[in-house]
Chains A and B, each alone.
Chain A
Amino acid sequence: MAAFVREVAKRVFAQEFKESNLMFKDGEDQYSPQYLLTPTGAKVNRLFIVGTLTETEDIGTEAEFLRGRVSDPTGSFLIYAGQYQPEAAQVLSECEKPAFVAIVGKPNTYTTDEGDVITSVRPESISVVDGDTRDMWVLEAAKHTLNRINSLDKDEPNIKKVVEHYNTDKKHYYEMVQQALQSLKETD
Chain B
Amino acid sequence: MDNNLAPHLDELTRALENVDENLIKNELEKLLSYRVPVEEAKRTILRKYKSNVLYPKNIGNLKANSKGLEINGRIIDIQNKTVNVKGENVPISSGIIADSTGACYFTLWEDMSLNIGDALKIKNAYTRKWQNRVQLNIGNRSEITYLSDESLPSVDEITRQNKKKLFDISFSDIYVNSIAIVVELYHREVNVKNRKTTVLEGVLADETGKLPFTSWTPLEGVDIGKVIQFEGAFVQTFKGVPSININESTSLEIVDSTENLPFTYETASDTSKPVPIKNILNKDGMFEVSIEGNIISLRSGSGIITRCPTCNRVIFKNKCRAHGTVEGYHDMRIKAILDDGTSAITVILNRELSEIVYGSSMYEAEDIIQNTLSQDAVYEDMRRRLIGKYLGVCGNSSNTDFGPTLVAKSVWVPDGSLDDRVHNLLKRLEGVNYG
Which B residues are CB-close (under 8 A) to A150?
A: 432
- A182 CA to B425 CA, complexed, in Å: 10
Q: Least Cβ distance of A187 to chain B in Å?
A: 10
Q: Which of B342-399 contact A (CB under 8 A)?
A: 342-344, 383-390, 399
Q: Mark B402-435, 1 if CB is under 8 A from A, else 0.
A: 1110000000001100110110011011001011
How many CB-defined contacts (below 8 Å) exist between A and B? Answer: 109
B400 within 8 A of A: yes
B43 within 8 A of A: yes
Q: Which residue of A lies closest to B421 (CB)?
A: A139
Q: Is A133 touching B388 in the complex (CB atoms < 8 A)?
A: yes
Number of contact residues on A: which range applies? 35 or more
Which A residues are CB-close (under 8 A) to B388?
A: 50, 101-104, 127, 129, 133
Q: Which of A116-161 contact B (CB under 8 A)?
A: 124-125, 127-129, 132-133, 135-137, 139-140, 142-144, 146, 149-150
Q: Is A6 touching B426 in the complex (CB atoms < 8 A)?
A: no
- A80 CA to B390 CA, complexed, in Å: 25
Query: Looking at the complex, which of A15-23, A33-41, A56-64, A171-179 is the stretch in contact with chain B?
Result: A171-179
A181 within 8 A of B: yes
Q: Which of B237-271 contact A (CB under 8 A)?
A: none
Q: Mark A12-54, 1 if CB is under 8 A from B, else 0.
A: 0000000000000000110000000000000000001010000
- A7 CA to B337 CA, complexed, in Å: 11
Which B residues are CB-close (under 8 A) to A144?
A: 341
Q: Is B429 touching A177 in the complex (CB atoms < 8 A)?
A: yes
Which A residues are CB-close (under 8 A) to B384?
A: 127-128
Q: Number of B residues contacting the other chain (C-beta, 8 Å)?
A: 41
- A150 CA to B341 CA, complexed, in Å: 16
Which A residues are CB-close (under 8 A) to B435?
A: 170-171
Q: Is B389 touching A185 in the complex (CB atoms < 8 A)?
A: no
A188 within 8 A of B: yes
Known: A9-B344, A102-B388, A127-B384. A139 touches B418 (CB 8 A): yes
Q: Least Cβ distance of B379 to chain A in Å?
A: 12
B206 within 8 A of A: no
Known: A144-B341, A150-B432. A178 touches B426 (CB 8 A): yes
Which A residues are CB-close (under 8 A) to B434?
A: 170-171, 174
Seen from chain A, the residues whose Cβ lies within 8 Å of a Cβ on chain B are 1-2, 4-11, 28-29, 48, 50, 101-104, 124-125, 127-129, 132-133, 135-137, 139-140, 142-144, 146, 149-150, 170-171, 174, 177-178, 181-182, 184-185, 188
Chosen A-B contacts, 20 in total, with CB atoms closer than 8 Å, are A1-B284, A2-B399, A9-B294, A9-B296, A48-B294, A101-B388, A103-B388, A104-B388, A127-B385, A128-B384, A136-B390, A136-B414, A139-B418, A142-B425, A143-B421, A144-B341, A146-B429, A174-B429, A182-B426, A188-B419
Known: A10-B341, A177-B425. 18 other contacts (CB 8 A): A6-B343, A7-B344, A8-B342, A9-B339, A29-B43, A48-B294, A50-B388, A103-B388, A104-B296, A124-B297, A125-B297, A125-B383, A127-B384, A132-B418, A170-B434, A170-B435, A174-B434, A181-B425
